[in-house]
Amino acid sequence: MTESAVLAPTTLAWITRLIAFDTTSRNSNRELIDVIDAELRVHGLDPVLVPNSDGTKANLVVTIPAHDGSTTGGVMLAGHTDVVPVDGQAWSSDPFTAEVRENRLYGRGAADMKAFSGVILALLPELVSRPLATPLHLAWTYDEEVGCHGAITLLADLAARGIRPSMCIVGEPTSMRAVSAHKSSHLYRVSFTGLASHSSNTPNGVNAIEYAARAIAFIRSIADEHRVNGPFDASFEVPYTTINVGTISGGAAVNTVAERCDFEFEFRAIPGVSTSAIFSRIEDFVLGELRPAMRAEHAIADVSFAPIGAVPSLSAAGTGAALQLVHELTGTSSEETVGYGTEGGLFQLAGIDTVVCGPGSIRQGHTANEFIDLAQISACEDFMRALARQLAHQH
Ligand SMILES: [Zn+2]
């Protein structure tokens, strides 16, 4: 392995160790967090755990203060600890046993995003070796893959403790390119309750499926408006806001008026589009037109919305110094957009200048035989070393 020879001696060991924890979002991440916590303490740091409501998962955040003891401002490196399931995927090796083959490291989370975390841990000695001009904050979150729940509690903790990083670099896989914008995503479930009846007597019932179908057709019409009329942002591969109905279930039998129908939809809005306006139009149609029509058939009928998750957009207009920093650290000047959401939107919303930049390609994220090129890991090491130099206090 010629390329692995250029990596720091502990980098592959750290990434391998992190991948060995099955931190699929449905599982606890506490064992992995405890290992990071212990390592940070070895280097004299004092990490803070921010548990979820039942304590089964935790964020971890630590601040390496500036040379004068200051913890204000500075740069935050942020990554999530959870990974997506391997269920139903055909892997050619154990997903939780990292394996190096042909200059790639394979394993669940190799790209998304345990290599980023592994590089930080391997280079901790360098990150803490010099007095810093401004603080460095390291943050690991839970439940990113299922709605960015951890980032929300992390931000609440930072605010409560008065810790306010000036900039944040989210290490999601971007092939080490600076990503300054992504769309928002908003997920909802809509539940229609009608009234069952023998299908020979339809006036006796209320057909939940038929009303859900009208709602779905309305949602599609709004999606078509955005596709045809915009607003457009040409920097995105799909340059307009999209809406998708992704699941539907309902009905009991073909000879029965359907009592229940549920569907889930999401929309992904380009930065600057009012997401509340989109949702309000759908809500107004469903609650203002469909529900009264259902109830006119029978008073028991009802329909309800439940939000499943939301990730705010990351706007290029909100990035300044962080983008410049990433350009300096990577020696590039490109600025890209991506279609997937990240915790970066939440950090930006909290007033932190945020850019996404991390090793590996999103194309390998979430796939069977997920891998990261060793060259990407090496590039991430270079990035961290450059950051350590950049943050160092100049005497
Ligand atoms: Zn990710």
Supply the DSSP symbol for 3: T
Looking at the structure, tell me whether residues 166 and 35 fall in a common domain: yes
Looking at the structure, tell me whether residues 113 and 36 fall in a common domain: yes
Looking at the structure, tell me whether residues 278 and 322 fall in a common domain: no
CB-based contact 76:62 (threshold 8 Å): no
Q: Name the token pair of 318.
A: 């909100």
Q: Name the token pair of 118.
A: 């592994």
CA of 32 to the centre of ligand 1 (A): 16
Residue where one domain finishes, among candidates 291, 311, 331: 311
Looking at the structure, tell me whether residues 324 and 343 fall in a common domain: yes
Measured between alpha carbons, how far is 110 from 205 in angstroms, rounded to an integer? 53
CA of 42 to the centre of ligand 1 (A): 27
Residue positions annotated with a catalytic role: 82, 144
Nearest residue to 245 via CA among 227, 263, 261: 263
H or E element in which residue 306 lies: strand 302-311
CB-based contact 265:191 (threshold 8 Å): no
Query: Residue type for 204, please?
Result: N
Measured between alpha carbons, how far is 205 from 213 in angstroms, rounded to an integer? 16
Q: What is the CATH number of the domain that holds 23?
A: 3.40.630.10
CA of 245 to the centre of ligand 1 (A): 23
Residue listed under structure tokens 């009234």: 195
Supply the DSSP string of 133-168, one letter for each residue.
SS-EEEEEES-TTTTSHHHHHHHHHHHHTT---SEE
Residue where one domain finishes, among candidates 257, 279, 311: 311
Residue where one domain finishes, among candidates 257, 284, 311: 311
Domain that holds residue 235: 184-311
CA of 50 to the centre of ligand 1 (A): 20
What's the pLDDT score for residue 272? 87
Distances (CA, A) of 390 to 67, 121, 134: 14, 18, 10
Provide the residue-wise pLDDT of the chain in tens; the chain has 395 residues. Answer: 444 447 988 999 999 999 999 999 999 999 999 999 999 999 999 999 999 999 999 999 999 999 999 999 999 999 999 999 999 999 999 999 999 999 999 999 999 999 999 999 999 999 999 999 999 999 999 999 888 999 999 999 999 999 999 999 999 999 999 999 999 999 999 999 999 999 999 999 999 999 999 999 999 999 999 999 999 999 998 999 999 999 999 999 999 999 999 999 999 999 889 999 999 999 999 999 999 999 999 999 999 999 988 899 999 988 899 999 999 999 999 999 998 899 999 999 999 999 999 999 998 989 999 999 999 999 999 999 999 999 997 65
The domain total for the chain is 2
Looking at the structure, tell me whether residues 269 and 335 fall in a common domain: no
CA of 161 to the centre of ligand 1 (A): 26
CA of 300 to the centre of ligand 1 (A): 43
Report every protein residue that has its C-beta within 5 angstroms of ion ligand 1.
112-113, 172
Looking at the structure, tell me whether residues 251 and 138 fall in a common domain: no
Looking at the structure, tell me whether residues 176 and 270 fall in a common domain: no
Looking at the structure, tell me whether residues 84 and 215 fall in a common domain: no
CA of 287 to the centre of ligand 1 (A): 35
What's the pLDDT score for residue 4? 44
CA of 202 to the centre of ligand 1 (A): 48
CA of 362 to the centre of ligand 1 (A): 8
Phi-psi region of 250 (alpha: psi -120 to 50; beta: other; left: phi over 0): left
Looking at the structure, tell me whether residues 131 and 27 fall in a common domain: yes
What's the pLDDT score for residue 395? 57
Looking at the structure, tell me whether residues 88 and 217 fall in a common domain: no
Looking at the structure, tell me whether residues 201 and 258 fall in a common domain: yes
What's the pLDDT score for residue 147? 84
CA of 342 to the centre of ligand 1 (A): 7
Looking at the structure, tell me whether residues 43 and 163 fall in a common domain: yes
Q: What is the CATH number of the domain that holds 273?
A: 3.30.70.360
CA of 116 to the centre of ligand 1 (A): 10
